[in-house]
Amino acid sequence: MSLITEIKNQRQKILIVDRQRSFLASLLRSTFIRYDFDVYLSSQPPTHLDQFQHCFLINETNLALATKTAAGVKITYLYLNRPQPAERLIKHLRHHHGRHIKVVNLVGDEAYIKDNWENLLWFVFSKSEENVLHLRQYLKKPVPRAPHSSRFVFLLGSLYQTVRKRYLWLLLVLLLIWQCGFIVPLSVMGLQFYQTYRRFQTNPRSNLKTNLTAVRRSLDWTKSLYGYARPTWLLFSLANLPDSIIQVSEKTLTVADQLSGLARDGQRILAVILKTDHDAAESLWVGKTIGDLPNRIDQINEDLRYIQQKLPDRPRFFARGKTEINQTIALLNQTETMLPALPKILAQNGEKKYLLLFANNMELRPGGGFIGSFAVVTVKNFGLESWHVYDVYDADGQLTAHLDPPEAIKTYLRQPHWFLRDSAFAPDWPENYRQATVFLAKEMGWDTFDGGMLMTTTALQTLLQAYGNLYLSDFNEVVNADNFYLKAQLYSEKNFFPGSTQKKSFLTALVNQLLIGTETASPQAVLLKLKQSLDEKQLVLYFDDQSVQTLFDKFYWAGRVIEPSCPKNIDHCINNYLFPFDANLGVNKANFFVNRFQEVKTVITPDGTIKVRLRNRLKNNSQNDVFPGGAYVDYFQLLLPSDAVITQVSRNGVLDEDYSVTTGQYQTIALFLTVPPQNQTTIEVDYQLNASIPAGKSVYQLLMQKQIGSSNNDVSFVIQLPSNVALLNQNFSPLVENNQILYNTTLSADKIFFLELSKQ
């Protein structure tokens, strides 16, 4: 194999520098391109010329270039009708010998230069030692030198020509600023809105007045500038977008002002309610303000709906904003629904007394948890008249009558008597409330309450998130949502004995600080945390006034055991009902370490039979048997439809017959189990519904209730359909594959799963 070597000549680089763009530059360029040189044009000489083989400087007055450049670069100075600079350079070269520098002095018109062009090129590229060439055209009349006045006229003419060529661009730029200048303050306003939103998200209690003032200033600038441009934007049908942005911005600022006003009034209302010495004028103002709130809320909701309608679905920021607007509207609607009840709850022109039970849901009971303390709260004419915290043993120690306890307490706790501390043993809060009043009537002689509520440890932790750090001076402790449970346990269990006061003193100090902190806390943050606890059944309410209780029942805040029912307009509806709940009988706080997972699997056979399996898995993450952890001793109960047929119960995959079944409004399965530390136990209950899926369209509805005080457990909902049953609609977003429906969720509240089916 032979190798072929190809030799390619390197093209020479030539630089032409001409500040005034004379015809010489064009003539040189066209000539050298014809001879296949690389030609570069420049209006300014570069700092270094070493990268070029030959440089042509036309009418250049900078003589320093001649001496700074390396000798390897050939430089030619060309002067056209400029004899004086040429003579100066020639004199300069006599003192600074530069063999690589040549000077061409040209005097004449363009035609004369072109006629002598070949001579000029020969001189430039020749190896002659001569470095100066004079080419002069002999004219009959010498070219006169222009007077100063003529130079001024020439400059004015040049300026006029420049303006004449470029005035159109200047006009276009001014027109663009006139028509689009509003976009700058509009963009600034959008950034300010975003920064305000982020600040509010980070700290809902922050004062946004300064931020909103800046936004309003940018909006005013935008509207002022857009007023000039809008007719043009209307002409080209482009005004819809900026009009919408400005209108949404105005509505947003209006809503912000309205919400700020609500927050201020809400804070003042709370301050008056929590004062034990408020006067009649303050009560009158609270009543009038509450009466005006529905109209104000309606106006805010109307503006929010307008904003929501105008906001796009993309990008994600706007979609998230629309979701939050929905949540705000829902919260305001709930608030408006409850407003008529507030004068009755707060005893307008009267007095009412309420019972508040504090339940430790780390020692979970069917009704929320072990009752460790309680309080009696008296309100009078929109104000807090008095409140007192009691340790539960203060009351139980005075019980002289005998009350039979539930069978589980008698059997597993081995307690022959029943006390207030164990009264939350039903899964229904109204029933537990009535039982608690029975105990207090027998123990303390109190038999007149107008309602009651139960608040779990988790509810207090959630509420503390709206307050931040609270300093309890009596205990020299800083309490917040993160350390509240540990601090409460410390002062509840350390050196405890029946009759000690440290637990109720700790709660009293904490409630005092909550009442004081409400004056500075964000009303919105407090209400949102209270609503979260109500939604998640960590706080439940009951009022003897049924007109008030009916309003709260609409939001499922009473902690009732619900009787499932189908919508009236559905002909064929099959109800399924599940309510699992625990009772921690281990005399410890093991629920702090217990995780729960539940799976509900429904299988519909081709003939329409409905078979259900509940798998309830409990995992105890406690490290050892040391208090407050340890073995999870659980009395597990499950409510099912009364006509359900139980086929089997198993524990960890093994059939278990050690359970009891009672039938009433519901069918109740109960069994006792123990989960040691670092272990898990799975209970499976299989049953079959009495009703079956009929031919044609029908609805299958599953109501699954959450236990008061229980954590938000993970739930998997699976339904398997035969080939002759099709899914038409549902109220959740499942994963559907091969006639199997899968939906994973969190049981943070009572949930209803609704499926519309069609059977062939």
Residue 155 has pLDDT above 70, yes or no: no
Residue-wise pLDDT for 30-88, tens only, equals: 888 777 788 878 878 877 777 788 888 888 877 776 666 666 788 888 888 888 888 88
Residue 303 forms part of a structural domain: yes
Q: How many residues does the chain have?
A: 760
The closest of 123, 121, 65, 66 to 94, measured between CA atoms, is 66
Residue 633 forms part of a structural domain: yes
Strand partners, 675: 632
pLDDT above 90: percentage of residues in the chain: 45
Q: 322 with 202, same domain?
A: yes
Q: 317 with 377, same domain?
A: no
Which is more confident, 35 or 335?
335
In terms of DSSP bridges, do strands 74-80 and 132-136 run parallel, antiparallel, or are they unpaired?
unpaired
Q: What is the DSSP letter of 134?
A: E
Residue-wise pLDDT for 480-523, tens only, equals: 988 888 888 777 765 544 544 556 678 888 888 887 777 677 77
Q: 176 with 204, same domain?
A: no
Residue 210: the pLDDT is: 81
| Residue 606 to residue 625: CA distance in whole angstroms | 50
Residue-wise pLDDT for 184-232, tens only, equals: 999 998 898 888 878 877 766 666 778 888 899 999 999 999 998 899 8
CB atoms within 10 A of CB 69: 20
Q: How many domains does the chain have?
A: 5
Q: 284 with 189, same domain?
A: yes
Task: Name the domain boundary from 316, 344, 372.
Answer: 344
Q: 88 with 156, same domain?
A: no
Q: 320 with 371, same domain?
A: no
Residue-wise pLDDT for 576-607, tens only, equals: 999 999 999 998 999 999 999 999 999 999 99
pLDDT, average across residues 737-760: 91
| Residue 647 to residue 749: CA distance in whole angstroms | 28
Residue 241 C-alpha from the chain's centroid: 26
Task: Name the domain boundary from 318, 344, 370.
Answer: 344
pLDDT, average across residues 519-537: 85
Residue 100 forms part of a structural domain: yes
Residue 668 forms part of a structural domain: yes
Residue-wise pLDDT for 96-123, tens only, equals: 656 678 888 888 888 888 888 888 888 8
Single-letter amino acid, residue 361 = N
Residue 142 forms part of a structural domain: no
Q: 617 with 534, same domain?
A: no
Residue-wise pLDDT for 368-386, tens only, equals: 999 999 999 999 999 889 8
Q: What band does 293 get if pLDDT is binned at 50, 70 and 90?
A: very high
CATH label of the domain that carries residue 387: 3.40.630.190
pTM for the whole structure: 0.72
Residue 274 has pLDDT above 90, yes or no: no
Residue 7: the pLDDT is: 38
Q: 448 with 527, same domain?
A: yes
Q: Which of 440-454, 556-570, 600-614 has the lowest mean pLDDT?
A: 556-570
CATH label of the domain that carries residue 655: 2.60.40.3680
* Range among 307-321, 561-575, 596-610 rated most confident: 596-610
Residue 4 has pLDDT above 50, yes or no: no
CATH label of the domain that carries residue 122: 3.40.50.720
Phi, psi of 158 (to 5 degrees): -65, -40
Which is more confident, 258 or 504?
258
Residue 548 forms part of a structural domain: yes
Residue 558 forms part of a structural domain: no
Q: 336 with 396, same domain?
A: no
| Residue 285 to residue 275: CA distance in whole angstroms | 14
| Residue 486 to residue 628: CA distance in whole angstroms | 10
pLDDT, average across residues 664-687: 95
Domain interval for residue 169? 152-180
Q: 67 with 21, same domain?
A: yes
| Residue 515 to residue 519: CA distance in whole angstroms | 7
- Side-chain-side CA neighbours of 285 within 13 Å: the count stands at 13
pLDDT, average across residues 255-276: 85
Residue 19: the pLDDT is: 81
Residue 543 forms part of a structural domain: yes
Residue 738 gets the label, from left (phi > 0), alpha (psi -120 to 50) or beta, of left
In this structure, which long-range contacts are made by residues 658-665, counting pairs with CB atoms below 8 Å and at least 24 apart in sequence? 665/563
Q: 751 with 681, same domain?
A: yes
Residue 42: the pLDDT is: 80
In terms of DSSP bridges, do strands 384-391 and 370-380 run parallel, antiparallel, or are they unpaired?
antiparallel
| Residue 375 to residue 391: CA distance in whole angstroms | 9
pLDDT, average across residues 420-427: 96
How would DSSP label each residue in 165-214? Answer: HHHHHHHHHHHHHHHHTTHHHHHHHHHHHHHHHHHHHH-TTS--HHHHHH
Q: 106 with 196, same domain?
A: no
The closest of 679, 582, 581 to 621, measured between CA atoms, is 679
